[in-house]
Chain A
Amino acid sequence: MTPKDTSLQMKDLEIISDPNTIKVLFDKTRAVLVFKYLVNEAMTVKQLADAIGKNPGNVLRHIDRLKDAGLVRQVRTEKTNTGIVQRYYRATAREYRLGITDMMKSGDGVRDYAEDRLRSIISSLSVYGVIIPSDKTEEAIELLRKLVERENTISAKVTIEDAEAWNLLPKQQQEDASRLMREAALTRDDQYQRLRQKWSEFVLDYSK
């Protein structure tokens, strides 16, 4: 059987819900490796070490942690003429978001952070003339949480089939393509459409 080459695939969006994975990204070096470099292109340990000015051994151990957490994967191997065997690593997704439901279920401040974030989104609607009364805030938070969660779930299913070609696109084109593909996927999802309808009606009820 010929193995399927999945080395060019990459998720458009990945939801991080495991607190341990979140903790892996709390390290500044690892966050830079993923968000600055590996979401954009496949790179070797040597290239990453040169880019961030750390020694290769240190970078390899960070990559090891990121691989363990499922945030980075090895995509290909190449030999150089000096005998070095270079492995290319890339982030598993183009964008990462924190899973809001899992955050709200967890403890140690993560729940408060997630709830504050939803609460601040709802209060910020006032600049658009949407004033949600305080006795309706919890209902609004719950509606928004469900909507965001569903949007993330559906968007996370969009796969970039050729990450190498995607890397060559201009930034704006990448953003546009991603938005269009996510919208197409969301349009086909009945549950998301129902939640969106409900949210729209709720917002319109309280707009001036």
Chain B
Amino acid sequence: MLDLKKWTFGEYVETIRVATRFTIRNYLSFFLALLGVAVVSIVIFLAGTLIVSLHLSMVVGPIDIPFGIFEVIGELITDSTEIGRLGIVLVFIGLLVAPLLIGFGALFGIGQELLESGGTEAEGVLIWFKRKFLSLAGGGIIQFVLLFAPIGLEYIFGTWYFHSDPIGDPVLSLLITLAFIWFILGAGLLSMTFPSIIDGMSIPAALKNSVSLGVRRSDAVFSIWLSFISIEMLLIVPPFIDLVMGSEFLDTLEGSIYALLVLAITVLIILPIHILATSRTYLLISDPNTSEEQVSEPKEEP
């Protein structure tokens, strides 16, 4: 029987090693799955915005461009209060990124297939996409709102607080630090949500299970999450800081190539390994015989 109470450095290394090995060995399946997810997500995104635009044109009058929804959102944002803007941005961006989130969640399906049986096929991702469509969409949007609503509120507070230039103000450093800590901690705690949904849990149960695993098995959950988010940040943060500092590096040819390269490395290499490492960690720490649900299972008398 597997000792699930221990998360050693050896286990961590083995998880990264297995995730990397499985990614290399099944790269074609993963690549085709990523491609399939991207195509389906884009089609759903375009179809969704077109349908909403058409309905909107019936309510608010004819919209002369096919994707007039964006124009309407822009006007709503301009006319709203700060809180209203935050709500609109979160709801609409949440809905717009939902297809991508479903696709991202469905990749955990083939991750689980690979790690439970050693094999998978690219079309599997589309079956998970279809089967868990609503759960993955709902789970993805809730995660998005939970992570970004507090950061948005902080932004509103910032715009109210700073009447003049905030650069150099210690409160700004505090706000940035708080937002950073919230994102790292929150996303880490929620990192087991998609594997839990793939494992058959409802959205509330998956969110609860993810947070519970993140607290009870923080060593396992955060060692994997921090490893991958650190790599991704190492790639993304330097040009971002460059941009904030007013540099035009990203506007140059070198900058564009770098951005493209970072995107390709993140999506095509780091993402599959990250998904497999997270799936393996989930499979290792979620054995039902150590979960609280099993403790409360009633034993019926014969």
* Interface, chain A (partner B; CB < 8 A): 1, 3-7, 9, 44-46, 49, 55-57, 59-61, 64, 67-68, 73-79, 82-87, 157-159, 181, 184-185
Contacts and interface: CB of A to CB of B under 8 A. Distances in A.
Nearest to B120: A57
Interface bin, chain B: 35 or more
A183 to B, nearest CB: 11
B116 A87 contact: yes
A3 B131 CA distance: 33
Nearest to A1: B295
B8 interface: no
23 contacts: A3-B290, A6-B294, A6-B297, A7-B288, A44-B117, A45-B113, A46-B117, A55-B121, A56-B116, A61-B128, A64-B199, A76-B2, A76-B287, A77-B4, A77-B287, A83-B18, A83-B115, A83-B280, A84-B116, A84-B118, A85-B116, A85-B280, A158-B302
A84 B115 contact: yes
Nearest to A160: B302
Nearest to B127: A61
Given A1-B295, A83-B18, A74 B120 contact: no
A55 B302 contact: no
Given A56-B119, A79-B284, 20 more contacts: A1-B295, A3-B289, A3-B290, A5-B289, A6-B299, A56-B117, A57-B117, A64-B131, A68-B200, A75-B288, A76-B287, A77-B287, A78-B2, A83-B14, A83-B18, A83-B21, A85-B283, A157-B302, A159-B300, A185-B302
B113 A56 contact: yes
Contacts of A5: 289
Interface in B243-302: 280, 283-284, 287-292, 294-295, 297, 299-302
A92 to B, nearest CB: 11
Contacts of A86: 116
B118 A46 contact: yes
